């Protein structure tokens, strides 16, 4: 083996002197120093040697490896010194490139602005589970099994009693079960329904709000929602309350605002009516108070729910809800 190592070093020295370009140098490194190279082949034989010879031949093997590595390094240095200097593509005289600033998604912006307006009116912010019990999503809100209103929700069921919540209204029952009036709460979050087109998505965002106290009237509801509309869309935007039906409020009303696209004159967006619906609302049905143990003769309250995507579409003049979820930077960078 000692003679093999000597012949290997001599062969490497002769070959290194004949190398004329960097590609040959890389071939030299692989042939002599690579994992399957000539030196590795000799070193694999160390294990079969007598124990008494291993220390001496192991040292010789290391000397041979060092010698070949030095041949490679010297030739590599020589090639580097002989290279023509190439000007760097980096111009150090140029100013640095500023990193792009992140921006809040328009849905997050609309959600934050909505919650901030209600927080300024004294409402607390509460969040609840996306996976909800059928009881809180329907039963506690005066929507028993087989109630026709369930068909309006297009629900994603996980089991017979477990589902993806179709609105954030379950927070009404959850909070009222644990806290006594007075209460002022808004509950933002994601909700889920089997629906998808230019104005609907299977997942969207909603803010549910409710207020419970003694002597709460529809006038209080109108005052709170009028202030919200004025803050969100401007004090010059008209609004109206239109009679409607929701199982957990009585009386119920939907709130329309003058179309922010045409100013109420009538256009394709508002279907030439001059009005756009933005939320549903009403006085909390006494049956809901019975479910949570409140005395409906003593307490009254109102509730409302609004879709954040709809608010964002109206605020930013967007006519296709799917743009919010395509993650196109050309769209998102405008906000």
Residues 98-135 pLDDT 10s: 887 888 899 999 999 999 999 999 999 999 999 999 99
Closest alpha carbon to 76 in 123, 122, 32, 24: 24
Q: Which residues fall within 8 angstroms of residue 32, CB to CB, at 6 or more apart?
A: 8, 12, 38, 39, 68, 72
Q: Is the pTM of this model over 0.85?
A: no
Distance CA 227, CA 199 (A): 26
Task: Report the pLDDT value the prediction gives residue 41, as an integer from 0 to 100.
Answer: 79
Distance CA 164, CA 38 (A): 66
Task: Report the pLDDT value the prediction gives residue 82, as an integer from 0 to 100.
Answer: 52
Residue entry with tokens 């593509």: 89
Using the predicted structure, report yes or no on whether residue 335 has a pLDDT greater than 90.
no
Q: Tell whether the torsion through CA atoms of 320, 240, 254 and 205 is positive or negative.
A: positive
Please indicate whether residue 173 or residue 64 has the higher confidence score (pLDDT): 173
Task: Report the pLDDT value the prediction gives residue 242, as an integer from 0 to 100.
Answer: 93
Please indicate whether residue 31 or residue 114 has the higher confidence score (pLDDT): 114
Q: Which superfamily does CATH assign the domain made up of 106-332 to?
A: Bira Bifunctional Protein; Domain 2 (3.30.930.10)
Lowest pLDDT segment from 40-54, 123-137, 151-165, 296-310: 40-54
255 half-sphere exposure, CB direction, 13 A CA radius: 26
pLDDT bin (cut points 50, 70, 90) of residue 303 is very high
Q: How large is the average pLDDT for residues 307-335?
A: 85
pLDDT bin (cut points 50, 70, 90) of residue 85 is very low
């Amino acid at each position: 083996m000692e003679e093999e190592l000597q012949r290997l070093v001599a062969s490497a020295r002769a070959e290194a002197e004949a190398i004329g370009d960097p590609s040959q140098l890389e071939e030299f490194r692989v042939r002599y120093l690579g994992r399957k190279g000539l030196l590795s082949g000799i070193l694999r034989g160390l294990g079969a040697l007598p124990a008494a010879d291993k220390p001496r031949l192991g040292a010789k093997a290391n000397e041979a490896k060092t010698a070949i590595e030095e041949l490679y390094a010297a030739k590599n240095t020589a090639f580097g010194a002989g290279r023509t200097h190439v000007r760097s593509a980096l111009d150090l005289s140029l100013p640095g490139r500023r990193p792009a600033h992140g921006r809040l998604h328009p849905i997050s912006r609309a959600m934050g602005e909505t919650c901030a307006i209600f927080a300024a009116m004294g409402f607390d912010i509460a969040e609840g589970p996306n996976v909800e019990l059928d009881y809180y999503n329907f039963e506690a809100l005066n929507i028993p099994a087989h109630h026709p209103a369930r068909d309006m929700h297009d629900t994603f069921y996980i089991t017979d009693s477990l589902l993806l919540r179709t609105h954030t209204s379950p927070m009404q029952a959850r909070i009222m079960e644990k806290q006594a009036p007075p209460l002022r709460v808004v509950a933002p979050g994601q909700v889920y329904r089997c629906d998808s087109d230019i104005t609907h998505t299977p997942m969207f965002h909603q803010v549910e709000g409710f207020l419970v106290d003694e002597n709460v009237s529809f006038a209080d509801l109108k005052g709170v929602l009028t202030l919200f509309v004025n803050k969100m869309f401007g004090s010059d935007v008209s609004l109206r309350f239109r009679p409607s039906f929701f199982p957990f409020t009585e009386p119920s009303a939907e709130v329309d605002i003058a179309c922010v696209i045409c100013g109420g004159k009538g256009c394709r967006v508002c279907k030439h009516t001059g009005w756009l619906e933005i939320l549903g609302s009403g006085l909390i049905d006494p049956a809901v108070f019975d479910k949570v143990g409140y005395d409906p003769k003593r307490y009254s309250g109102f509730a409302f729910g609004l879709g954040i995507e709809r608010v964002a579409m109206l605020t930013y003049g967007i006519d296709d809800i799917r743009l919010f979820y395509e993650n196109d930077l050309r769209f998102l960078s405008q906000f």
